[in-house]
Structure 1
């Protein structure tokens, strides 16, 4: 399984969105949260601005699927 994951990562085009964090080398959920927080706080520096965020954890979403 690890070999397939590695093969998948090497086939990704370099032209992916810079905000793509999944399946990219040296990227993690920490990077995604940090980047999102930075963008939100930078936006809030503007007068009369607000930010809404929704974080959803899909890490166990497929655990109930029966593979047959």
Structure 2
């Protein structure tokens, strides 16, 4: 009786090659578009911070005048 060993084939994992291939497929924005988006984020963040500070100040003044704090 002859026993033969079968080698199980492992699926090759080319993570690095797949990563490079996917990066090449990405449509990257132009430099100008990146800067425009960057400044939009900065302006939105500044406006959001100003609104939060304004609301916090108004509540602080309101509670101070009503004697809650």
TM-score by length of 1: 0.34
TM-score by length of 2: 0.33
Larger radius of gyration: 2
The structure whose residues are more often helix, as a share, is 2
